[in-house]
């Protein structure tokens, strides 16, 4: 099956051009640049880039486009709702949360890319890197401490805007899953418990299993649910200078405690520094200052940061299992090494540290976030 590194971009480009012609006026005279697959496309989704030019109502149009394709083959998540991501950004367009302009969604015709896809307008700017983690390398090393501070805090400003939205008024009520639990946390724990069973395939996962047991035992009971971005971090924001131009990657959007987003972003930042034994870059505010900034912008008090950091590590640990299996499936990593990596990686080691557990067994495998 096609993957980001095996797709025939020339053949798919011709099919996509024919499909796009069907979305435009008959006399549009479309010209499409060759499709390109960015290096950052990753394992959990597929992204293609191109530029389109056409004539509409006598005017010349030029649109840099981004195509997001539902994963084909070995999926990271048990299910994948591409339409949800498209509709999430549609619903956010009228708000003050910056998102790309989504243009077309194709869920029925798999003849173009072999899977559902959507098209959105490309947003100019740059994203803090995961490979290498931004504390270890990349363009964040080339800017000033003041700029790093502004970028980091801008991520929490975006979160505050997301968390202030009325779930029902903005059309996100359908994200509630009462069949899984009484509130957002119970629903998420139920979902990830099933995800863990599916991903583990009967293999023992001592750190992740201990984290789940702890999470079930220590659930907060004093929370109010809101809209949760899910993959909240500066690595999912396009920055123009130091200001957010677009908030990306809504595949884990859900209903729950907004503290889940705050803790996920902090856990990922710890992973990109402490987790890989690299100092945080100069200019990044302390986590205490970060929380004060978020609380001031959101009007919410963060009361359960430790709990939701454990939850972040647990979720990420489950995802890493599937990433390890996927790397073995596509022969990016030898199978024996991948099986060891499922249990012992930068995520599970940091999670063990946070829970004051013995670290997982020694292995030579090293992890990076995709």
SS3 content of the chain, % helix, strand, coil (to 5): 45, 15, 45
According to the model, what pLDDT value does residue 5 have?
A: 52
Residue 172 and residue 28 share a domain: no
According to the model, what pLDDT value does residue 138 have?
A: 96
Domain count, the chain: 2
Cβ proximity of 49 and 38 under 8 Å? yes
According to the model, what pLDDT value does residue 43 have?
A: 55
Confidence of residue 362 (pLDDT cuts 50, 70, 90): low
Provide mean pLDDT across the span 152-178: 95
Ramachandran category for residue 89: left, alpha or beta (phi over 0 → left; psi -120 to 50 → alpha): alpha
Which of 92-106, 125-139, 173-187, 339-353 comes out lowest in average pLDDT?
173-187
Cβ proximity of 77 and 191 under 8 Å? no
Residue 368 lies in a domain: no
In sequence order, what DSSP letters do the residues of 343-360 get, joined into one string?
Answer: HSSHHHHHHHHHTTPPPP
Residue 366 lies in a domain: no
What is the CA 51 to chain-centroid distance, rounded?
Answer: 24
End position of a domain, from candidates 60, 86, 121? 121
Helix (H) or strand (E) holding 288: helix 287-298
Entry field: residues in the chain = 370
Residue 362 lies in a domain: no
Cβ proximity of 324 and 348 under 8 Å? no
CATH number of the CATH domain containing 71: 3.30.200.20
Residue 146 and residue 221 share a domain: yes
**141: closest CA among 297, 282, 12, 330?**
282
Residue 126 lies in a domain: no
CATH number of the CATH domain containing 345: 3.90.1200.10
Residue 158 and residue 111 share a domain: no
Q: What is the CA radius of gyration of the chain?
A: 21
Residue 174 and residue 37 share a domain: no
Residue 164 and residue 292 share a domain: yes
Residue 76 lies in a domain: yes
Residue 302 and residue 271 share a domain: yes
- 363 pLDDT more than 80: no
In this structure, the strands spanning 243-247 and 59-69 are: unpaired
Residues whose CB falls within 8 Å of the CB of residue 123, separated by 6 or more in sequence, listed in order:
100, 238, 245, 246
End position of a domain, from candidates 92, 121, 150? 121
Residue 335 and residue 254 share a domain: yes
- Tens of pLDDT, residues 114-132: 999 999 999 999 999 999 9
Provide mean pLDDT across the span 228-236: 97
Could you tell me which residues are beta bridge partners of residue 53?
31, 62
Residue 129 lies in a domain: no
> Which structural domain range is residue 172 located in?
139-354
Residue 102 and residue 243 share a domain: no
Residue 151 and residue 236 share a domain: yes
According to the model, what pLDDT value does residue 206 have?
A: 95
In sequence order, what DSSP letters do the residues of 32-68 get, joined into one string?
Answer: EPPPB--GGG-SS-EEEEEEEEEEETTEEEEEEEEEE
**245: closest CA among 367, 81, 126?**
126
What are the backbone angles phi and psi of residue 141, rounded to the nearest 5°? -75, -15
Whole-number Å distance between alpha carbons of 98 and 158: 8
Provide mean pLDDT across the span 245-258: 96
Residues whose CB falls within 8 Å of the CB of residue 14, separated by 6 or more in sequence, listed in order:
none
- Tens of pLDDT, residues 42-97: 555 689 999 999 988 888 999 999 999 998 877 888 888 999 999 999 999 999 99
What is residue 247's three-state secondary structure? strand
According to the model, what pLDDT value does residue 57 have?
A: 81
Residue 170 and residue 26 share a domain: no
Residue 369 lies in a domain: no
- 40 pLDDT more than 60: no
**Following CA atoms 12, 33, 105, 162 in sequence, which dihedral angle do they give, to the nearest 10 degrees?**
130
Whole-number Å distance between alpha carbons of 312 and 248: 19
Residue 280 lies in a domain: yes
Provide mean pLDDT across the span 13-24: 95
Residue 144 and residue 98 share a domain: no
Residue 177 and residue 54 share a domain: no
According to the model, what pLDDT value does residue 38 have?
A: 84
């Amino acid at each position: 099956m096609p993957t980001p590194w095996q797709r025939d971009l020339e053949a798919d480009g011709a099919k996509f051009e024919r499909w796009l012609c069907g979305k435009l006026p008959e006399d549009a005279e479309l010209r499409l640049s060759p499709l390109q697959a960015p290096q950052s496309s990753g394992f959990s989704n597929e992204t293609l880039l191109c530029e389109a030019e056409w004539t509409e109502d006598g005017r010349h149009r030029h649109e840099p486009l981004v195509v997001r394709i539902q994963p084909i083959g070995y999926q990271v998540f048990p299910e994948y709702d591409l339409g949800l991501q498209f509709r999430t950004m549609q619903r956010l367009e009228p708000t003050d949360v910056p998102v790309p302009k989504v243009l077309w969604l194709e869920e029925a015709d798999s003849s173009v890319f072999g899977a559902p896809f959507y098209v959105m307008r490309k947003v100019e700017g740059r994203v803090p890197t995961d490979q290498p983690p931004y504390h270890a390398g990349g363009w964040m090393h080339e800017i000033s401490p003041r700029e790093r501070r502004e970028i980091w805090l801008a991520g929490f400003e975006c979160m505050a805007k997301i968390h202030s939205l009325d779930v029902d008024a903005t059309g996100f009520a359908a994200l509630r899953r009462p069949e899984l639990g009484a509130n957002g946390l119970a629903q998420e724990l139920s979902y990830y418990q099933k995800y863990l069973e599916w991903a583990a395939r009967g293999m023992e996962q001592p750190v992740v299993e201990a984290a789940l047991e702890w999470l079930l035992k220590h659930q907060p009971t004093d929370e109010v649910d809101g809209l949760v971005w899910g993959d909240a971090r500066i690595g999912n924001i396009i920055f123009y200078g130091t200001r957010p131009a677009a908030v990306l990657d809504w595949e884990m959007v859900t209903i729950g405690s907004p503290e889940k987003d705050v803790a996920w972003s902090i856990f990922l930042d710890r992973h990109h520094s402490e987790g890989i034994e690299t100092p945080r870059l100069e200019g990044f505010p302390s986590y205490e200052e970060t929380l004060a900034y978020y609380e001031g912008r959101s009007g919410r008090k963060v009361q359960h940061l430790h709990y939701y950091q454990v939850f972040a590590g647990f979720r990420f640990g489950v995802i890493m299992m599937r990433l390890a299996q996927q790397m073995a499936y596509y022969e990016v990593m030898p199978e024996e090494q991948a099986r060891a990596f499922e249990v012992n990686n930068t995520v599970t080691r940091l999670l063990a540290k946070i829970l004051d557990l013995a670290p997982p067994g020694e292995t030579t495998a090293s992890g990076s976030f995709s």
